[in-house]
Amino acid sequence: MSQDNRVRIFDTTLRDGEQSPGATMTHAEKLEIAELLDEMGVDIIEAGFPIASEGDFRAVSEIARQAKNATICGLARANFKDIDRCWEAVRHARSPRIHTFIGTSPLHRAIPNLDQDQMAERIHDTVTHARNLCGNVQWSPMDATRTEWDYLKRVVEIAIKAGATTINIPDTVGYTAPNESAELIRRLIAEVPGADEVIFATHCHNDLGMATANSLAAVEGGARQIECTINGLGERAGNTALEEVVMALKVRHDIMPFTTGIDTTKIMNISRRVATVSGFAVQFNKAIVGKNAFAHESGIHQDGMLKNAETFEIMRPADVGLGETSLVMGKHSGRAALRAKLKDLGFDLADNQLNDVFVRFKDLADRKKEVYDEDLVALVRQNEGAEDSVRLVSLRVVCGTGGPAEAEMVLEVDGAEKSGTARGDGPVDSAFNAIKALYPHDVRLPLYQVHAVTEGTDAQATVTVRLEEDGRIATGMSADTDTVVASTKAYINALNRLIVRRQKTAPGADVKEISYRDVGE
């Protein structure tokens, strides 16, 4: 079964990707990302970890009910309670899957204090239990690449005999290298009884920057499922990036004769959306989806591009859903033109949403000479994602070389307006201090990041702010031609997300939280 040339794409943005500190998504955002993944042609969507919380369970359940094409998978640790909860969440999917795992390396066996025989027995019992509930069961030996070879073979054979239909081999800490990755899969298929009857999968982390290379090597070795995330989102240095492996297989089909079911023209849209809802901006030089991925500044490169684009581009921008031109809109553009352009960019807005964006577009067009695609995307996204307990009404900042900056601010807090003034070391600091004065809170600011959406002094600034409070982390993002305004809105966006998380974890709230440190791969 592992030797056909069709590679299944297993996306875990909503599970492993969301484990990135600060990347927690709202219920509506999870449903939206799942729909985009489904439309793009992802084969399996790992929608979450149902036992983690009531919110995760509801999200996985609803995604399972709404998915039109993809298999919907939930994660479960190696115990009956987790597996039962997972099945309850995914059972209504057109094609459900249970994914259960346990750490098999010596370091991970020490955590539950199980010897090899005890762990082998647990693997047999839990995979059998999962298979009795669902005909599609995936099993993972967490930290497989640091597991003793003889023991790895033993437990893989046990999982296959117990009914697992997919065997995933995780490089949990990004430890392996391409030649090892290929050889590990190759030997498992060759030496484990029954291996030719299941799909082997690869799940690579990017700690040494080799996740994409390791995943592609595993495919060469016989794996026919790649586990990945949009933009490479994930814990620590992240996971294998979906867009990288998919485009590598497409562009280098001559030496890697494998196919996927991904509509690559939808990559850029979902990349932008995941960046927005996660608060993790894509680095400019990121392969495939970075701002500079199709930009050319060198004179030699520009000359070559003008004569023949293939001289310096191995794929077309249109292949990943990027428009050939970016300057299209101005202050004289109307609603119909805006709707058409936004549809080209992947946004099909309802009338009330379009009206809201149109007002902000006209305001931006009056302040900017040129409005680019990236500006429009920022306009659509800047006010999404949080239930607004706190809202910015007005802001005025005085700053300069003569002394500390001062911010005069009006906030709407739970429907009531509050105004005040605060000073700080610069305009942004004074604005943040004003927010704290009007809505008292004690948080840490581990990340404040600014980058320009487009070129020029009138460019919109996109600001990312990450806040931390008692172990809860929330990320906010906003854009404006005024960097201080964008910073303030981003802070408030993160604060609103933090308020929601605080409410969900308050005593008596209908939420059962599980530390993601208990979650593997």
Q: Which residues are annotated as a binding site for Mn(2+)?
A: 16, 203, 205, 239
Whole-angstrom distance, CA of residue 429 vs CA of residue 127: 54
Cβ–Cβ < 8 Å for 222, 190? no
Whole-angstrom distance, CA of residue 123 vs CA of residue 463: 46
**Rg of the chain over all Cα atoms, to the nearest angstrom:** 24
Cβ–Cβ < 8 Å for 201, 225? yes
Q: What are phi and psi of 134, to 5 degrees?
A: -140, 135
Cβ–Cβ < 8 Å for 228, 40? no
Whole-angstrom distance, CA of residue 93 vs CA of residue 82: 18
Cβ–Cβ < 8 Å for 479, 462? yes
Whole-angstrom distance, CA of residue 465 vs CA of residue 450: 9
Bridge partners (DSSP) of residue 400 are none
Which residues carry a binding-site annotation?
16, 203, 205, 239
How many C-alpha atoms does 473 have within 13 Å on its Cβ side? 16
Question: Can you list the alpha helix ranges (DSSP code H) found in 110-226?
Answer: 116-133, 149-162, 178-191, 211-221
- Of 454, 402, 463, which is closest to residue 428 (Cα–Cα)? 463
Q: Which tokens in the block code for residue 421?
A: 């003034």
Q: Which tokens in the block code for residue 294?
A: 């199709």
Cβ–Cβ < 8 Å for 285, 292? yes
Whole-angstrom distance, CA of residue 73 vs CA of residue 48: 8
Question: Residue 460, by phi and psi: left (phi above 0), alpha (psi -120 to 50) or beta?
Answer: beta
What is the bridge-based pairing of β-strands 71-77 and 96-103? parallel
**Each residue of 347-359: b (16+ CB within 10 Å) or e?**
bebeeeebeebbe
- Of 200, 235, 197, which is closest to residue 218 (Cα–Cα)? 200
Whole-angstrom distance, CA of residue 406 vs CA of residue 425: 9
Whole-angstrom distance, CA of residue 206 vs CA of residue 330: 42
Bridge partners (DSSP) of residue 137 are 98
Q: Hey, is 306 helix, strand or coil?
A: helix
Q: Which tokens in the block code for residue 457?
A: 């002094």
How many C-alpha atoms does 111 have within 13 Å on its Cβ side? 12
